[in-house]
Amino acid sequence: METARAAVSAKGVVVEADGKIWLLTVATKGERSTGGNFVTEIGPLSEIPRGSTYEIQVADADFGPAMNAAISKAVHTHSGPEIWYVLTGEQCLETPDGATRAKAGEGMFARAGVPMQLNITSSGNREALFAIVHDASKPATTVSDWTPKGICRR
């Protein structure tokens, strides 16, 4: 943990998930934090809306297929991009633009302000590390009245 904290810059955050220490860095393509073992680069992200200060909300979510009914009801938007790195299982994100899928070892992201519905599509648990990068003066998440077409369940 101390090594990661020493390597983190103003563009990153250190978290613990899946029994590991992770150093997440939001930067230009190819830019890396010093130290650690490189895992993946996800992006390029869409434009991050302008703000005077930013916040990176990071969490680790471990859900089994039985939770999909509850998770998929949470149609929402974020005031900044949301980024996932899938640790186990599979997920599908439906937006008005279509569906994006990711399985263990893959990353994906959603643009700021886009309505979305997350679906767990694996037969076992799906664990993912995810982050929302947003203007700290705005709520990270807002409920949306958009109605998904159900394309992740096809």
pLDDT tens digit string along 58-82?
A: 999 999 888 888 898 999 999 999 9
Closest of 33, 116, 106 to residue 80, by C-alpha: 116
Domain count, the chain: 1
- Contact status, residue 75 vs residue 116, Cβ threshold 8 Å: yes
Closest of 85, 88, 142 to residue 116, by C-alpha: 142
pLDDT tens digit string along 74-106?
A: 999 999 999 999 999 999 999 999 999 999 999
CATH number of the domain encompassing residue 117: 2.60.120.10
Q: Return the higher-pLDDT residue of 32 and 109.
A: 109
Average predicted confidence (pLDDT) for the chain: 90
- pLDDT recorded at residue 64: 86
The residue range of the domain holding 54 is 2-153
What pTM value is reported for the model? Answer: 0.89
Measure CA of the first residue to CA of the last residue in the chain; give whole Å: 42
